[in-house]
Structure formats: structure tokens, C-alpha cells
Structure 1
Amino acid sequence: MQRPPEKNTLIVGWNVEAVQLYDRLLETPALGYNVRGFIRPAGNDRRRHYKNVPVVGDLENFSECVKKYKISEALIVLSPSEKTYLPQIIDLCTKNNVEYSIVSDAYEEDYDHVVRHIIRVVLKPREFGFRRIFDILISVTLLILLFPLFIITAIAIKLDSPGPLFYSQQRLGKDGKIFKVYKFRSMVQDAEKLTGPVWAGKEDPRITRVGRILRKTRIDELPQLMNVLLGDMSFIGPRPERPFFAQQFKKQIPFYMARLKTKPGITGLAQVTVGYDETIEDVKEKIKKDIEYIENKDSLLLNLKILLKTIAVVLKGEGQ
């Protein structure tokens, strides 16, 4: 196997586990991690080095360290007393375009989920790999096959209520990139003009008669095949969230921003197991499923199960 290029790396954590991780990396140089230093989340420990690798800073000057040492990846390994800093660390990595891996168990009492990232010697495929080819083939095929359904849907929407056929909305994509997601309009025109951004409820009066059918069968999501074709989305992945809600959720839910490590999808594990968001607890359950999928997204069996479950949801009209 070809040795991967070296990645300038920070170890975020200043504890026994952090130095043990560094020792493991020394024993496996083929992983390609060039550790430039440790970031100390908190505390006044006077020790400044471990095996000639310095403590280069804390969370306040994280961004400066990234620029100074040309950091491309951060390995997060926190002690129990440091784990309250995890959401802040993830946010800093996201803002500085730094890839991150949670190497230790990252557990929060109010968030019943454990994330473990195991460092493996894997050469990650380029973006234009098997998944991208699969997305293009599926989206083009479905756009052609479903074109008659698009025409029927367009006529039904126009006959049912005034307004445009399609509805576009800003969403967060991979690495926090903002893009416009497309749907068939299922609500009255200017549905949020008076209320601002709000969740849709089961008996939402803003939903039109045709809209209820579209949402139950998930037909309203089909225009997102164009988002897949354009490369903003994948066929399977975490659902893209609106920036307004994402800013709220990342303050309340640890690991929320971790879902931005992969492309969002038209369907996903969270959508076929949890359903629509109605409470913050629903969102937390979805994040568990999103992270579970991200950790196992290369599993052919898992992706096949999601596809089959999605088809079942559509046929049974279990959407909302």
C-alpha cells in the first residue's frame, strides 16, 4: 500500500490519553500524521513538552496555531474534565476548515451516545469516487424515469393553490457550505412571512391539500435529485439543516456539527428510523443516527437497508 502524504496535525487534549495517542502514532508512521503540537483545552499545567513535541496553545489561540503550523487535521482526545469543551472544539475545527477525529470516547450525560473514531490506515478516495458515480447515475436515471410524475405533480400544485411550483431554501452542506435545496412547494405561498423560520407540524395549516399528499409520499423531496446531480448532496446521508436552526442546535447538542463531515442526503438512516423533527429530543435522536451512519457510511449493507426502508416509507405514505 502506498504511504499517504504527511498531514500536519494537532492533538487537542493535554492528558495521559493524549500522550499515549502520540506514542501510538510514533509507532505507526505509515498513518502519515505529523504532530506539530498539543492544544491544552484548560488548566495551568506548567509542562510545555512531551518528547520534544510542544504545547503550542489553548482554545483561544487555536486559529493562530492552525495558520502558523499549516494544520490540516486535529485529533481530539479529551479527559473527563475536558469533555465539556468538545462542542467548542468541533466548532473551531469547522470554522478553520480543519478535519477532525474524535479518538477517545466522547460522552455527555445529557446526550446518550458514545462516539469512537478508530484511526485506520485507509487511503480515502477522492470526492469523485464510487459514491459520486453512483449519485450521478441514480439521479440522472430517476430524473428521466420520474419526468411524467414531475409533470403530474406540477399540474396538481398549480390547480390547488397560487404560487410557484418549486420552493428553494438555504441549507448547510458538507463542511458548512451553504447551498439552495429544491422541493416541490407543499405549503401556501410565503408560508413563513409572518412567523419566520419554524418547524412544520403534523396538522400544519400552512400545508396545502396537494402538499399533504406530496409530503406523505415524499414526492416533494424529488427535485433534490438536481442537488445530487450538482454535487451539493448525495443520495444517502444526513438531511441538510437550515442555518437558522443549526446555530441553535449546535449550542444544545454535543456533536451536532459532526454531521457536516459528509454530504447531506435526500434520505438517510435518521429519516427512515426517527422521522420528522417535532421536539429537540427528536433532533438528538437523529444526531445519534446521523453519526452512526457517518461512522459506517461505506457499508454496502447499511446503505441497501436505508434504500429499501425509504421505498417502504414512500409506498406506505408514512411521510409527514
Structure 2
Amino acid sequence: VVGRAATAQRVAAAFLRHPGCGVRPVGVVSDETSGGEGLPVLTTGEEVQRALIQNGVQDMLVVGPAARTEQGPLLRALGESGCAVWEVDADSPAYERADRLAGFACRRLPVGRLYGSAGKRLLDVLVSGVLLLMVSPVLLVCAIVLRIVDGPGVVFRQERIGKDGRPFTLLKFRTHRPVDAHEAATRWSVANEHEMSWFCRFLRRSSLDELLQLWNVFWGDMSLVGPRPERPYFVGQFSQTYPGYAARHRMRTGITGLAQIHGLRGDTSIEDRCRFDNAYIDNWSLWQDVCILLRTAAALVRPTGS
């Protein structure tokens, strides 16, 4: 059982009281030590691997979305080795169409298929590589015009949070100038369109300022399709405020996604974005990525900006 020590022990105890559910917990995986009674707490990869072999473990029960993010590498490794990974909701109402174990709502996470998909990465590399070749003249023209119209500093670099909570540097064409680094990192919107040059407004409304993120995709920091990446300051805030926000980091962040093709861009509901992003991840398929890319391409003929 993977999660916060106290909660994971409570869930494990419930399963042990109901052996008829077919699950017998043998240990708790947590970064915390447990001072009370209960199952052994495993805090290292070696301890987990030893417990798996000794007990013939076939299932991992993940308690809450935070544990999915914190133990992401472990869950990927276990899922790809054939261990079934289940998310257990210890406190909230049942998931829609959820299975139940010992009275808890649960659902199986497609960890091995989802996280280990070579097909998704291959699609990212091929499409981003081809697009970079095709749009390189456009990128060059945008850079030259932006330099002439709005001065030096054509490329905007900003730290964002990616897969498994790892930071990376996101690239965009600069369309605004924050007062300082603190404002850039902590202010929700630093762009005032009426203060922008005409070309900067054009870049934002046409989404051409996002084209440099194809380099992020090609390098592996991002994917073509996935939840949009956010700054560390807001990731911390939103993870505490919106259930499921942290779970978005199970997958590489993307240039576009299911939330974006449903109009959730810019200053829109974070709660709605969480719902769409996690629905995309839970039901991921390569065909879904292709459909989202096609819908994104179609939407570019009627751009609304970012």
C-alpha cells in the first residue's frame, strides 16, 4: 500500500479485516516512518524489491493522487514489470463506475501501458522534428521582426514543472516584459495586451509565440499532447487547493491537450482543467493524441490566443 504512512496503514488494516476482498496487504511504502502498530513501512527501493519477491506481490494500492506523483518512478517500474497498480480513494465519495475493494472506491491505473509508451515518444520526436524543419523560416521571420519591433531579448525562458514534478526551462517568443523575476514567477498574468506592440499581440493571438516549445518536445522535456506545464509557485498553490492537480504530473506536459481543445486556455477554471487533464491521462491512447493534434490544428484557423 503506497501513500502517507498513517493513511496507508488505515487502508491496509481495513483490507486485512476483510480478507474476502481477495487482497492481503504485506507492507506500506512511504517516505515517512510509522511510529505505531501496523505493517512494515518500506522506505527504500531495495526494501520494496525484497518484499515483492518474498511475498509474490501482484498488486500495488496507491492511496490518493499525491502518492502517485511522489512515488511516480517506483509505480512506473512496477507497472512495466507486470504489477497491477490500483488507486484507492480512502476518504472521498466513489469514483464514477469505480470498482470497490473492502468498501473503498478504486480504479486500476494503466501505468505500464501509459508511462512506458514508446509510441508516444516516437510520435513526439517525428512530428516535432518535421514541424521544426517546416516552420524554421517562420521562426526566423518572427525572431527578426520581434527584435526590430520590440528590442532585444527575443526568446523568453521560464521554469515550469514537468513529469513527476521535475522542473525544466520552457521556451517561448517574448511577448511581454515582466517587471522582475519575482513577478514573472508569481503573477498569474503579467501580460497587458494594450501595452504590447502590435506584433506581440499578433504572436499571442495566433499562438505563434508557442512554436518554440517544439524544441522542448524534441528534447524530451514536453510532449505534443499532455497537461499544460505551470510555474512552481502555482503548482504548489493549485496542488493544495484542487484535488487531482498533482496527479497531472503523471505524464509529460504538453503543448496542447484535452483541456485546451475544450476551450480551457488562459484565465479559465483550474478545477475544470484538472478534470479534463486527468481524464486524458486515465484514458490515454495514441489515437487520442492524434485526434487532439488534429483538433488543435483545426482550431488554429480561428485562434483565440493563450
Q: In which range does the TM-score fall when normalised by the shorter chain? A: 0.7 to 0.9
* Consecutive unaligned residues in structure 2, runs of 5 or more: 53-58, 77-84, 99-104
Asked whether the 8 Å contact 2:174–2:209 carries over to 1, the reply is yes
TM-score by length of 1: 0.71
Indicate the residue corresponding to 2:48 in structure 1: 69
Distance (whole Å) between structure 1 residues aligned to residue 106 and residue 136 of structure 2: 43
Say which of 258, 275, 291 aligns to 1:288. Answer: 275
The aligned counterpart of 2:252 is 263
C-alpha RMSD of the superposition:
3.9
Provide the residue aligned with 1:117 in structure 2: 107
Q: Which amino acid aligns with 2:149?
A: D
- What one-letter code is carried by the residue in structure 2 that aligns with 1:297? W
Higher helix proportion (structure 1 or 2)? 2
Matching residue's letter, 2:292? I
Query: Are 1:99 and 2:85 counterparts?
Result: no
Deviation at 1:289, TM superposition (A): 0.8
Structure 2 vs 1, CA of residues 241 and 106 (structure 1 numbering), >3 Å: closer, same or farther? Answer: farther
Q: State the one-letter code of the partner of 1:166.
A: V
- 1: distance between equivalents of 2:251 and 2:148? 39
Cα pair distance change 1:207/1:135, threshold 3 Å: same
Deviation at 1:136, TM superposition (A): 1.0
5 Å matches for 1:198-209?
198-200=187-189, 203-205=192-194, 207-209=196-198
Q: CA deviation at 1:314?
A: 1.5
CA–CA distance in 2 between the matches of 1:303 and 1:229? 16
TM-score, normalising length from structure 2? 0.74
**1:291–1:166 Cα change, 3 Å:** same
Aligned residues: 275
Moved more, 165-174 or 12-21: 12-21
- C-alpha displacement at 1:293, in angstroms? 0.6
Cα distance in 2 between the residues matched to 1:93 and 1:304:
29
1:195 aligns to 2:195 (yes or no) = no
Cα deviation for residue 187 of structure 1 reads: 1.1
What's 2:290 paired with? Answer: 304
After TM superposition, the structure 1 = structure 2 runs for residues 169-318 of structure 1, keeping only pairs within 5 Å, are 169-188=158-177, 190-193=178-181, 195-197=183-185, 198-200=187-189, 203-205=192-194, 207-278=196-267, 282-300=269-287, 302-318=288-304
Q: Is the 1:90–1:255 Cα contact (8 Å) retained in structure 2?
A: no
Identity %: 27
DSSP 3-state at the match of 1:181: strand
Instruction: String of CA shifts for 1:273-296, please: whole Å, max 9, x gaps.
Output: 1422426xx111101111011011
Gaps of 5+ in 1: 1-8, 27-34, 49-54, 78-85
- Comparing 156-165 with 203-212, greater Cα deviation is found at 203-212
